[in-house]
Amino acid sequence: MLPAIITPFREDGEVDEEGLRGNVEYFSAAGVAGIVPCGTTGESATLNFEEHKRVVEIAVESARVKVVAGTGSNNTREAVELTKHAEDAGADAALLITPYYNKPNDRGMLAHFRAVAESSDLPLILYNVPGRTSINLKPELVAELAKLENVIGIKEASGNLSQISAIIEMTRDEEFFVLSGDDGLTLPIMALGGKGVISVVADVAPRKMVAMVDAMLKGDLEKARRLHYILSPLVSALFLETNPIPVKTATGMIGLAAGPLRLPLAPMAEKNEMRLKEAVDLLGEVA
């Protein structure tokens, strides 16, 4: 269970480095297996290269758990550069989103990920989220990429359980794992053979998400199902608006460093923020 952590900003809009260190310490103490800085939840799209690299460096310096750095890009050269930097900074692995906007064909997708894999010895986790990228990483392509020595897994956020089942089935002979990229589908994905989750909800309720994933790994379906439904109102509330708008709002509610969003993201509508506050209060997990 790895939270995809927010990037806290100061009121002047700059990265809140001390706040980031404090947040990383909080997650490290919450029993998570690792943290994921500079993903979508970390507002990576609005971080410049220097900020992106600095956030990864601070995460590595501060964490007492594994660090999986978001290093993906729709520009292969940029993805290579960010992955090399993460390796040099001491990250344990890198998370690589599919090349958004460009919409490459299958040959381009394979060439993109192979280029990154060949540029670094860092273990790589693929990231498929068609709702964000407008492109789907097909099971056949995942199976082909799983043959690469340092491609070790995928964060699957397609929402398509049939596709996820096919990926698990087609990679059974490889040292390769599937992680949920969708909090609400973590339980069924793990029931299919997934090994955990890279989670947004865990920014707000890390201990309960850890407990649910641990229960599934131990085969305690009854406990996992109970925790799934306890977390369900928060899962729904955190996706009332575009991620990471609600989760950044919620982390501030529980006392973690958060600060403002960067444009073009803007604060939540008041009625949605009230619903989010109710879900956070109902859960009762505070920093």
Give the pLDDT confidence of 116-166 residue by residue, as tens digits.
Answer: 999 999 999 999 999 999 999 999 999 999 999 999 999 999 999 999 999
User: How far apart are the C-alpha atoms of 66 and 35, rounded to whole Å?
Assistant: 6
- Digit-coded pLDDT (tens) for 84-94: 999 999 999 99
**Domain membership flag for residue 287:** no
Calculate the dihedral angle through the C-alpha atoms of 251, 256, 262, 268, rounding to the nearest 10 degrees. 30
Sign of CA dihedral 75, 152, 248, 258: negative
pLDDT interval class at 283 (50, 70, 90): confident
For residue 127, indicate whether it is catalytic: yes
Overall average pLDDT of the 25-54 stretch: 96
Catalytic residue among 155, 195, 218, 271, which? 155
**Domain membership flag for residue 102:** yes
Q: Which helix (H) or strand (E) holds 124?
A: strand 124-128
Considering the chain, what is the average pLDDT of its residues? 96
Overall average pLDDT of the 104-123 stretch: 96
Overall average pLDDT of the 86-107 stretch: 96
pLDDT at site 285: 65
User: What CATH number has the domain bearing residue 95?
Assistant: 3.20.20.70
User: How far apart are the C-alpha atoms of 219 and 238, rounded to whole Å?
Assistant: 27
Q: Is 245 annotated as a binding residue?
A: no
User: How far apart are the C-alpha atoms of 126 and 148, rounded to whole Å?
Assistant: 12
Residue 70 has pLDDT above 70, yes or no: yes
Other C-beta atoms closer than 10 Å to the C-beta of 49 total 11
Residue 108 has pLDDT above 70, yes or no: yes
Task: Provide, rounded to the nearest whole percent, the portion of the chain with pLDDT above 70.
Answer: 99
**Domain membership flag for residue 215:** yes
**Domain membership flag for residue 122:** yes
Catalytic residue among 26, 127, 208, 248, which? 127
In the chain, the number of structural domains is: 1
Task: Tell me the pTM.
Answer: 0.94
Residue 287 has pLDDT above 80, yes or no: no
**Residue of 72, 108, 110, 114 lying closest to 93 (CA atoms):** 72
Q: Is 198 annotated as a binding residue?
A: yes
- Is 250 within 8 Å of 267 (Cβ atoms)? no
Q: What region does 19 belong to: left with phi over 0, alpha with psi -120 to 50, or beta?
A: alpha
pLDDT at site 286: 57
**Cα-Cα end-to-end distance for the chain:** 18
For residue 229, indicate whether it is catalytic: no
Q: Which is it for strands 93-97 and 2-3: parallel, antiparallel or unpaired?
A: unpaired
The domain containing residue 187 runs over which residues? Answer: 2-282
User: How far apart are the C-alpha atoms of 270 and 117, rounded to whole Å?
Assistant: 44
- Digit-coded pLDDT (tens) for 204-260: 999 999 999 999 999 999 999 999 999 999 999 999 999 999 999 999 999 999 999
**Domain membership flag for residue 265:** yes
